[in-house]
Amino acid sequence: MASGFVGRENELGRLEAVCSQAKRESRPAGALVNGVPGSGKTRLLAELRGREASSRQLSMVGYQTGSQVPLAAAGDLLRELVKVSGAGARLEAALFGAAQANDRPLEPLRMCEAAHRSLLRLEGVIVLFVDDLQWIDELSLALCSYLVRSANAEGKGLAIIAASRPSGTGSAFSESMTRELGPDRVTTMELGPLDRDDGVRLVQQLGPKLSGERAHELWTMAQGSPFWLGVLARSGGSLDLTEYLVARERGLARDASRLLAVLAVAARPLSPQHIDALLGWDETRTEHAVAELERSGLAILEGTSLRLAHDLIRSSAEAQLPPADRRQLHALFGSWLERQAGGDAQLLLEALVHRREAGQDVSDLALRVLQSPQRRLLGREGLRYLSQVADSRGFSEPAADLHERVALLASELGEHRAAMQRWIELATNGLTVP
């Protein structure tokens, strides 16, 4: 059973006011919640979701390995907008139709406009939740900004509630919204530690057998961090996250432990169906592993996807994996993503990232990405990563085609200086591509 919401009433009230303003004025209003890992940003957004249940809700969630993959964060949002009667078909055609029919890459402006048209067809005020903003890819951020500008021009009620770790991306996002909407319609807040009273309440809620004195001690040890308060309340007071995870994992059955490792390496939510396909498990086996991870407090099932309860858990769990196991899981996940991708350049690039982490040769996959009709959607972030892949091969004859394709993509993206430098390197090394 989920714990009740403790503290943050002031912050929650300010976020509710943003939603009310968007509804009252039929115009966009936004909020950015900044906080260090473990400060309770995602929990705060989840509570707001429940209180705004009467509004239409959309989601955009960033994840670490998808930060270089265009539109990775916008997947859930686009899937919902594609379902909109009439306008959704136009968006689906913008996303997939042009590349299939004309062998042309998707045009970001056309996609953004089609998404905007779908958004306008939704009735009432829309609440767009944007979580882990610091990991959202460039194109998803551009889409979000486009929807804000368009909704402002059309007089559409849209509340954007974003959460981010302290980062340049979060600051830039807030500044962009302020320029577009004005300071009276943009709210920013910092989530600090819980105060003593709220911290003690949280500890005693999660650890009912703990005395008030012990709860106060744990609040002091955790320095008010909601995440650490949860860890300490459930673990009896051990401040060491590694010890906490080891203790938790020791009680896990083999399948649940394996699933924890997969989620840590994947660094993204996975549906039970994806887990079945990835690990070759049947539905019952997956259900048991998912349920056990949920009971342990290490993972949360949200809608149809399972995710780790906090990124600190993910990073610590991944760090505990032996290097050989970590490489094997990156290889497994990368190969699975590659099979799922088809011609999707974003998924192919994500697969490439994982396979490279596995220490595999990714030259052929990089060429496949660079030859995709959707390659321009990879943007400058994707170009930088693919440039690193090409550079790691050196300027030898086998890598000539890879370098040429990177140069072509740079030229297509308007990065003419980078393209010219790569052409010069090819010529200097006496390399020509048939």
User: Which CATH number is correct for 247-320, 3.40.50.150, 1.10.10.10, 3.90.650.10, 3.40.50.20?
Assistant: 1.10.10.10
Question: How confident is the model over 245-267, as pLDDT tens digits?
Answer: 777 777 889 999 999 999 999 99
What's the token pair of residue 372?
């995709």
The whole-model pTM stands at 0.68
The CATH number for 323-428, chosen from 2.10.25, 1.10.3470, 1.25.40, 1.10.10, is: 1.25.40
Structure confidence at residue 101 (pLDDT): 47
Helix (H) or strand (E) holding 163: strand 158-164
In 3D space, the residue among 309, 306, 314, 304 whose CA is nearest the CA of residue 269 turns out to be 306
Q: What tens digit of pLDDT does each residue of 99-129 get?
A: 444 555 568 888 999 999 999 999 999 999 9
Determine the pLDDT at residue 300: 82
Residue 430 has pLDDT above 90, yes or no: no
* Long-range CB pairs of 354-362, under 8 A, 24+ apart, other chains included: 354/65, 354/265, 354/330, 355/330, 355/331, 356/389, 357/326, 357/327, 357/330, 358/327, 358/328, 358/330, 358/331, 358/334, 359/327, 360/331, 360/334, 362/389
State both tokens at 229.
């308060």
- What integer pLDDT is reported at residue 133 of this predicted model? 94
Which pLDDT value is given to residue 406?
92
- pLDDT surpasses 50 at 434: no
Task: Tell which CATH classification among 3.40.50.300, 3.40.605.10, 3.10.20.90, 3.40.190.10 matches the domain 9-190.
Answer: 3.40.50.300
